[in-house]
Chains A and B, each alone.
Chain A
Amino acid sequence: DVQLVQSGAEVKKPGESLRISCTGSGYRFSNYWIAWVRQMPGKGLEWMGIIYPGDSDARYSPSFQGQVTISADKSISTAYLQWSSLTASDTAMYYCARHQSGTSSNLDYWGPGTLVTVSS
């Protein structure tokens, strides 16, 4: 079965750095894009960016370009989302999802989410 397992909840202070992870199993991780989606408290879904673990090609939403870095290590079937300097506005749930490419492009499997809280 396809599974995406995300790292645990984080509580950080403003200015700190953070990397969260998403580990895939049950499929060939290198061959599918992984997307990251933000959901701020009580708000809707925001597509942040996407990475192809096979060659680490990453694409970003303009809203998140320069604010986060998406990376992947195909040898351990894991994608990452990282911040160099967190702010309170980064407080949110972050989901990773497998991106199914092709004529019917969609996010077909999702991780359970990683809650990031940034507070002084």
Chain B
Amino acid sequence: DIQMTQSPSSLSASVGDRVTITCRASQSISGHLNWYQQKPGKAPKLLISAASSLHSGVPSRFSGSGSGTDFTLTISSPQPEDFATYYCQQSYSIPLTFGGGTKVEIK
């Protein structure tokens, strides 16, 4: 199985700060990396697919980059509704494993 490691596991940020979350794969996954957002008590939502493609309806303050083994999710100016838990997922090979999650909290 491909292991996905996210860092940090949690962070505190103020509204308007720049937030960066990293995700590392245990082997190269090319650009087959997705990002999801999950709020408490809700199902996850797709934010970004194929490392950098914004899903329909996702605000442009979210962006993704990377290829191979190292990937980044950036929130350029987080809004109150962006405080949530974020997960990366590799879609390179079955099983399609998730990272452990990054909880983004308001400072």
Query: Which residues on A are within 8 Å of B, measured CB to CB?
Result: 35, 37, 44-47, 49-50, 59-63, 95, 97, 100, 103-108, 110-113
Contact = CB atoms under 8 A, between A and B. Distances in A.
Given A95-B44, A106-B49, A47 B101 contact: no
A110 B89 contact: no
Given A44-B100, A59-B94, A63-B95, A108 B55 contact: yes
Query: Chain B at the A interface: mostly helix, strand, loop or mixed?
Result: loop
Given A50-B94, A61-B95, A107 B101 contact: no
A105 B45 CA distance: 14
Contacts of B11: none
A40 to B, nearest CB: 12
Interface of B: 1, 32, 34, 36, 38, 42-46, 49-50, 53, 55, 87, 89, 91, 94-101
A97 B38 CA distance: 14
A47 B45 contact: no
A71 B94 CA distance: 18
A45 B32 contact: no
B98 A104 contact: no
B50 A110 contact: no
B96 A35 contact: yes
Contacts of B36: 45, 107
A44 B87 contact: yes
A104 B44 contact: no
Contacts of B42: 112
Contacts of B99: 44
Contacts of A46: 98
B46 A45 contact: no
Contacts of A95: 43-44
A104 B96 contact: no
Contacts of B95: 47, 49, 60-63
Contacts of B45: 110
A101 to B, nearest CB: 9
Nearest to B42: A112
A102 to B, nearest CB: 9
